Amino acid sequence: MNKTSSNSILVQNLDKVIEVRLGVGKSVSGKLKWFDEHLNLLLEVSDVKKTSFVMVRGSNVVLLSGLDFRSE
C-alpha cells in the first residue's frame, strides 16, 4: 500500500470511530478528527458526561482498527 492510498483510507475514515493500539500495550478509541503524514492522530473521545480530545503520536501507533477500506 503506498502513501497516497493509505492517506485516502484515513481521509475516508475522518469523523468515524476507530481504535488505536499503542506500543505500550494500551488502546484508545475515538472519532478520528485529524491526522498527518507522521500518523499523528487527533481523536475525539466521548463519555456520558464530557467530550475530550486525545493526541496520539504516530511513533506510538501499532495498529488501527475499525477502518473502512471500501472505495467510494
Structure confidence by residue, pLDDT tens digits, 29-68: 999 999 999 999 999 999 888 999 999 999 999 999 988 7
| pLDDT score, position 6 | 73
pTM, whole model, 2 decimals? 0.84
Distance in angstroms (rounded) separating the CA atoms of residues 19 and 56: 11
We find that the CATH architecture of domain 3-65 is Roll (2.30)
Residue ranges covered by each domain of the chain: 3-65
Q: How far are the Cα atoms of 20, 26, 33, 34, 41 from residue 46, in angstroms, in the given order?
A: 15, 18, 13, 16, 16
